[in-house]
Amino acid sequence: MKSKQKINEDRAAVYIAEHHKEIGKEIRELSSNKNFAGILQAVVNLIRCLLEKGEFAKIIRHIKYIGWIYQRGNDYIRYIIENLFVRSFEGIRRRCSPSQWQQLYAEIPKSFQAIYLIQNNTIQTIKLC
Protein backbone atom coordinates (compact mmCIF):
# COMPACT_ATOMS: atom_id res chain seq x y z
CA MET A 1 0.00 0.00 0.00
CA LYS A 2 1.34 3.40 -1.00
CA SER A 3 1.62 6.00 1.78
CA LYS A 4 0.35 9.52 1.21
CA GLN A 5 3.04 12.04 0.46
CA LYS A 6 3.11 14.93 2.93
CA ILE A 7 2.80 18.52 1.77
CA ASN A 8 6.17 20.29 1.72
CA GLU A 9 6.83 24.03 2.11
CA ASP A 10 6.69 24.75 -1.63
CA ARG A 11 3.33 23.02 -2.13
CA ALA A 12 1.94 24.57 1.07
CA ALA A 13 2.98 28.02 -0.16
CA VAL A 14 1.11 27.50 -3.43
CA TYR A 15 -2.01 26.32 -1.60
CA ILE A 16 -1.86 29.21 0.87
CA ALA A 17 -1.33 31.80 -1.89
CA GLU A 18 -4.34 30.46 -3.80
CA HIS A 19 -6.53 30.47 -0.70
CA HIS A 20 -5.37 33.84 0.67
CA LYS A 21 -5.75 35.95 -2.44
CA GLU A 22 -5.48 39.23 -0.48
CA ILE A 23 -1.83 38.44 0.27
CA GLY A 24 -1.06 36.08 -2.61
CA LYS A 25 1.65 38.29 -4.09
CA GLU A 26 3.41 38.61 -0.72
CA ILE A 27 3.20 34.85 -0.18
CA ARG A 28 4.67 34.10 -3.60
CA GLU A 29 7.57 36.49 -2.90
CA LEU A 30 8.23 34.92 0.51
CA SER A 31 8.03 31.47 -1.07
CA SER A 32 10.61 32.40 -3.70
CA ASN A 33 12.94 33.21 -0.79
CA LYS A 34 12.10 29.89 0.95
CA ASN A 35 10.58 31.75 3.91
CA PHE A 36 7.72 29.56 5.12
CA ALA A 37 7.72 31.19 8.56
CA GLY A 38 7.27 34.54 6.82
CA ILE A 39 4.32 33.13 4.88
CA LEU A 40 2.59 32.09 8.10
CA GLN A 41 3.37 35.46 9.66
CA ALA A 42 1.68 37.11 6.68
CA VAL A 43 -1.41 34.97 7.33
CA VAL A 44 -1.33 35.93 11.03
CA ASN A 45 -1.11 39.60 10.03
CA LEU A 46 -4.07 39.16 7.68
CA ILE A 47 -6.08 37.54 10.48
CA ARG A 48 -5.28 40.48 12.76
CA CYS A 49 -6.52 42.92 10.10
CA LEU A 50 -9.70 40.89 9.65
CA LEU A 51 -10.15 40.90 13.42
CA GLU A 52 -10.03 44.70 13.46
CA LYS A 53 -12.77 44.71 10.81
CA GLY A 54 -14.83 42.16 12.72
CA GLU A 55 -14.76 39.65 9.86
CA PHE A 56 -14.99 36.52 11.98
CA ALA A 57 -16.30 34.25 9.24
CA LYS A 58 -13.20 34.97 7.14
CA ILE A 59 -10.92 34.48 10.15
CA ILE A 60 -12.45 31.09 10.86
CA ARG A 61 -12.14 30.08 7.21
CA HIS A 62 -8.43 31.03 7.17
CA ILE A 63 -7.70 29.22 10.44
CA LYS A 64 -9.47 26.08 9.23
CA TYR A 65 -7.50 26.19 5.98
CA ILE A 66 -4.20 26.34 7.86
CA GLY A 67 -5.56 23.40 9.88
CA TRP A 68 -6.04 21.53 6.60
CA ILE A 69 -2.41 22.27 5.65
CA TYR A 70 -1.28 21.19 9.14
CA GLN A 71 -3.00 17.81 8.90
CA ARG A 72 -1.33 17.09 5.57
CA GLY A 73 2.01 18.81 6.15
CA ASN A 74 5.42 17.32 6.67
CA ASP A 75 7.17 17.59 10.04
CA TYR A 76 8.66 21.01 9.25
CA ILE A 77 5.29 22.44 8.19
CA ARG A 78 3.68 21.11 11.37
CA TYR A 79 6.49 22.47 13.55
CA ILE A 80 6.27 25.98 12.07
CA ILE A 81 2.47 26.05 12.27
CA GLU A 82 2.58 24.97 15.93
CA ASN A 83 5.28 27.43 16.90
CA LEU A 84 4.21 30.46 14.91
CA PHE A 85 0.60 30.20 13.84
CA VAL A 86 -0.93 28.52 16.91
CA ARG A 87 1.18 30.70 19.23
CA SER A 88 -0.46 33.74 17.64
CA PHE A 89 -3.84 32.66 19.08
CA GLU A 90 -2.98 34.19 22.46
CA GLY A 91 -2.50 37.60 20.83
CA ILE A 92 -5.74 37.14 18.91
CA ARG A 93 -7.52 36.18 22.15
CA ARG A 94 -6.30 39.40 23.82
CA ARG A 95 -7.73 41.46 20.94
CA CYS A 96 -11.17 39.82 21.22
CA SER A 97 -13.94 40.23 23.71
CA PRO A 98 -14.56 37.06 25.73
CA SER A 99 -17.63 36.21 23.66
CA GLN A 100 -15.78 36.81 20.38
CA TRP A 101 -12.94 34.54 21.55
CA GLN A 102 -15.42 31.82 22.54
CA GLN A 103 -16.97 32.03 19.07
CA LEU A 104 -13.56 31.77 17.37
CA TYR A 105 -12.18 29.12 19.70
CA ALA A 106 -15.20 26.87 19.11
CA GLU A 107 -14.38 26.88 15.38
CA ILE A 108 -10.62 26.31 15.69
CA PRO A 109 -9.62 22.78 14.63
CA LYS A 110 -9.39 20.40 17.61
CA SER A 111 -5.70 19.72 16.90
CA PHE A 112 -4.99 23.47 17.22
CA GLN A 113 -7.06 23.70 20.41
CA ALA A 114 -4.99 20.91 21.96
CA ILE A 115 -1.69 22.54 20.95
CA TYR A 116 -2.90 25.94 22.20
CA LEU A 117 -3.86 24.50 25.59
CA ILE A 118 -0.50 22.74 25.95
CA GLN A 119 1.38 25.93 25.02
CA ASN A 120 -0.58 28.04 27.49
CA ASN A 121 -0.28 25.50 30.31
CA THR A 122 3.47 25.46 29.73
CA ILE A 123 3.60 29.27 29.82
CA GLN A 124 1.55 29.32 33.04
CA THR A 125 3.88 26.75 34.62
CA ILE A 126 6.93 28.81 33.67
CA LYS A 127 5.36 31.97 35.14
CA LEU A 128 4.69 30.15 38.43
CA CYS A 129 8.32 29.06 38.82
Of the candidates 11, 8, 50, 42, the residue with the CA atom closest to the CA atom of residue 24: 42
- In angstroms, the CA 75 to CA 34 distance is 16
pLDDT tens digit string along 26-75?
Answer: 999 999 999 999 999 999 999 999 999 999 999 999 999 999 999 999 99
Burial of 13 (0-12, 13-18, 19+ CB in 10 A): buried
The answer, as to whether pTM is greater than 0.85, is yes
